[in-house]
Structure 1
């Protein structure tokens, strides 16, 4: 069966005005991820990303210089927009600056969104789920044997949950577990897709590299 390896982008610039770029640590995480793939002889014959800068930067820092194909279905949901709707345009400072508060609010907001709330957001939950499903079809529709995708935590959580037939709420539980540059592998054949591995970080498992592990 063919392999689809979906990697979450490396650490971005949390708390900065422009989140959509890698931190210095993010570039290092990406280098280690790319080195790990090459050390195992895993060479992709197709490269994909969403349209986000942090995804493209991750792929380049992994050592893959060829221009990837892009599909917006691999982009993250717009959490800033969802927060804007949830709080009527006045997002509390603690939500923006404090990590614990941020991720607790993230979970609460996405569950509300999935239940049909946050009317007026730029994207509905059903719209998000549909574009992720379309991205999966796009990534697995040709004859490539090893497809490498750089995506984000939300789409990876949704790809995993939908492949397992899990309820929508499980997507958020998975989303919050996805580590920067973690590797989630699917195998596919003739329109069938199966989860093979979730959220692995072999390049960050040693005592030397463990301190480089991040979730945002």
Structure 2
């Protein structure tokens, strides 16, 4: 069986004008993630990211940019800014934008509504998100490579886990909210078989003195 490790990008710039870039902590998380894979002797023979800056910066800080990394937009996160904008008709409450607990509670509710066919007028429907993440998975696994590294985002990882487990639709978001920055989620695959092997592992962030760099956004 071949292996696919999906790494969530490092901490992005929550609350900043440009969310789509890594914070200083995010770069350090990514560096430690890359070191951990090399220490385990796990060096990819195929590397893929989405097209988002925070995903590309994570890969660069991991130190796996030898050659030309591939890109697939199906590994991009859903556009949560757009979903919230549509839900609130362009007037997103200040608390939703700036308070973490309020933001993620509201986001969870918004994704559930989106999955149910709501949030009409958003740039992407839930069905389109399902389709493109499925396309991205096929792109990554229809390969002769034995070790595939993907840098993606929490919502995509949640969807891939739910798909591998044949879980109810709601499970995507419940998993999404648990995914730590720079964590490893490992799948094994062969042909059409695609199975979850390890979820949300952060051995590189769990040493004494590193508690302050374990983050979820």
Tell me the TM-score normalised to structure 2 length. Answer: 0.98
Which residue in the other structure is 2:6 paired with?
6
- 1:25-64 residue pairs with structure 2 within 5 A? 25-64=25-64
SS of the residue 2:170 aligns to: helix
Which residue in the other structure is 1:107 paired with?
108
Unaligned runs of 5+ in 2: none
Task: Work out the CA distance in 2 between the residues paired with 1:128 and 1:35.
Answer: 32
- 66-75 vs 173-182, which deviates more? 66-75
1:143 maps onto 2:126 in alignment: no
Stretches (4+) displaced over 6 A: none
Question: Considering only aligned residues, what root-mean-square deviation do their CA atoms show, in Å?
Answer: 0.6
Task: Note the alpha carbon deviations across 1:110-167, whole angstroms, 9 max, x for none.
Answer: 0000000011111000100110011000000010000000000000000000110001
Task: Work out the CA distance in 2 between the residues paired with 1:195 and 1:98.
Answer: 33
Which residue in the other structure is 2:69 paired with?
68
Task: Work out the CA distance in 2 between the residues paired with 1:74 and 1:215.
Answer: 18
Displacement after TM superposition at 1:48 (Å): 0.2
Tell me the TM-score normalised to structure 1 length. Answer: 0.99
- 1:118-197 residue pairs with structure 2 within 5 A? 118-197=119-198
Unaligned runs of 5+ in 1: none
Displacement after TM superposition at 1:191 (Å): 1.6
SS of the residue 1:104 aligns to: helix
Task: Work out the CA distance in 2 between the residues paired with 1:137 and 1:190.
Answer: 10
Task: Work out the CA distance in 2 between the residues paired with 1:119 and 1:78.
Answer: 14
